[in-house]
Amino acid sequence: MDKIILSGMEFYGYHGVLKEEKRVGQPFIIGVEMFLDLLPAGVSDDLTKTVHYGEAYLAIKKIVEEENFDLIEALAQRIGEMLLQEYPLQKVRVIVDKPLAPVPGGNLAARIEIEREK
């Protein structure tokens, strides 16, 4: 299966269970793999036969920066649902990194990864 990969998208959001996370916010790093047949776009050189990844980036940015979730699992689910709804994808993988996840004794990097299909 062909795929388009957007990796290392860094945004500032207000997601987390703790009040401080919702007040102060923190960086989130998002990666997506969008699975679809790229042959029509490759043969035709036609943008309408693929995913306009600039538009996909802006849609992901809007979710991360303007919506709020307690869990990064819910953030990933929302991104995955949007991508499957808006684009002709067969499957999507969403990775959310929370590099400053607060835990007792300090911070650690937390990552979740989901896969969803139509």
Residues 6+ apart with CB under 8 A from 113: 76, 93, 94, 95, 96
Active-site residue, selected from the candidate residues 22, 49, 62, 98 = 98
| CA distance linking residue 102 with residue 25, whole number of Å | 12
Asked about 62 being catalytic, the answer comes back as: no
CA atoms of 13 and 65, how far apart (whole Å): 5
Which residue reads 């990775």 in tokens? Answer: 95
Active-site positions read 98
